Amino acid sequence: MSTELTLQSPLDMHLHLRDEEMLKLVAPLTAQTFAGALIMPNLVPPVTTKESALAYKQRINDAKKYSDFEPYVTLFFQEYNYDFLKEIKDDIIGIKLYPAGITTNSEGGVAAIDAEALRPTLEAMSELKIPLCIHGETNGFVMDREKEFVPVYEALAKEFPNLKIIMEHITTKDSVELLDKYDNLHATITLHHLLITLDDVAGGMLQPHLFCKPIAKRYEDRDALLKVALEAHPKVMFGSDSAPHPKHKKECCGCAAGVFTAPIALQVLAELFEEHGKLDNLEKFVSLNAQSVYEFTPVEKTITLIKQDCIVPEIYEGFGENVVPMYAGETLKWSLS
């Protein structure tokens, strides 16, 4: 049994840091254990210009507290011309497409994802090698939204074969099956979708801190995700989708969607991979695969975990904000060294 685990430059390729006081609270909780993270642009207003992207990156750097952490910022998808994208390509890592109204702060997203309508922007992105990150859900029945989006992924993959497409936070076996069908499709997988199903969210008493979008699915979906993650399939990478909301917005009528996993992600992943005898694959899943997919070299950073129990805080508080983590108050088997 391993008692110590060293990871080189772990990366979180799908992270929400919010802004203002919440940003100040949560940014250090990721920066402590990760060398870098791909940051979501769905602020209010969203990040759509070079000025707003650079300003947001600066606010993150001001808040992170750890110098060995690099925020990789993205743009909120809209129609962009080639000249603009050429100018900004070195300042961003990708562009995030949200279907309109599908998740938090996505009201300004794309109303209809049509290849012809989006062609000018997507062709420019293809030529400039800017990855397209997609929240892949329709507005259909909540359990079927990702499955219904599969034809959209297929159409885009076929129509724009040189465009690198990241299927964000996949939750179904249908999405897993797409990975080997198209060379230009890749995916991120969250911690919570490797662990929970809808039963954990709503099978007994409702668990608001496990409610997220995309919603957790069936056992067969979770098992399909777990299989490719544990194998460290080269086209999948860790993206926590850690999404902080204040406690009063989670434990209420009209509960906000989002699971906050940033402070415990590596510890829980170590336990999960060890449980399945795949601890040697964890670094590929949380670092090497992302470097290959996005073609970049992260900040050098070594994180050591030890086999020692630790209790997850009930709540993180500061700057007038608070957020409850997944597994609040529970004991984990791995700790930060």
Is residue 183 flagged as an active site residue? Answer: no
The burial class, CB within 10 Å (0-12 / 13-18 / 19+), for 11 is buried
Task: Please give the tally of structural domains in the chain.
Answer: 1
Predicted pLDDT of residue 142: 96
* Residue 192, domain extent: 4-336
Predicted pLDDT of residue 2: 77
Q: What does the alpha-carbon distance between residue 209 and residue 16 come to, in Å, rounded to a whole number?
A: 16
Mean pLDDT along residues 291-302: 98
CATH code, 14: 3.20.20.140
Averaged confidence pLDDT in the chain: 97
Cα–Cα distances (Å) from 284 to 3, 12, 88, 105, 337, in that order, read: 19, 12, 29, 32, 20
Cis peptide before 45 (omega within 30 of 0): yes
Instruction: Give every CB contact of residue 93 below 8 A, 6+ residues apart in sequence.
Output: 38, 72, 73, 74, 131, 294, 296
Predicted pLDDT of residue 248: 98
For the chain, helix (H) and strand (E) counts, in that order, are: 13, 15
Q: What is the pLDDT of residues 160-180, one digit of tens each?
A: 999 999 999 999 999 999 999
Radius of gyration of the chain (CA): 19
Q: What is the pLDDT of residues 209-256, one digit of tens each?
A: 999 999 999 999 999 999 999 999 999 999 999 999 999 999 999 999
Mean pLDDT along residues 33-56: 98
- Among the listed residues 12, 174, 221, 241, the single catalytic one is 241
Percentage above 90 pLDDT, the chain: 98
Predicted pLDDT of residue 281: 98
Which helix (H) or strand (E) is 192 found in, with range?
A: helix 192-195
* pLDDT bucket at 286, cuts 50 / 70 / 90: very high
Asked if pLDDT for residue 125 goes beyond 80, the answer is yes
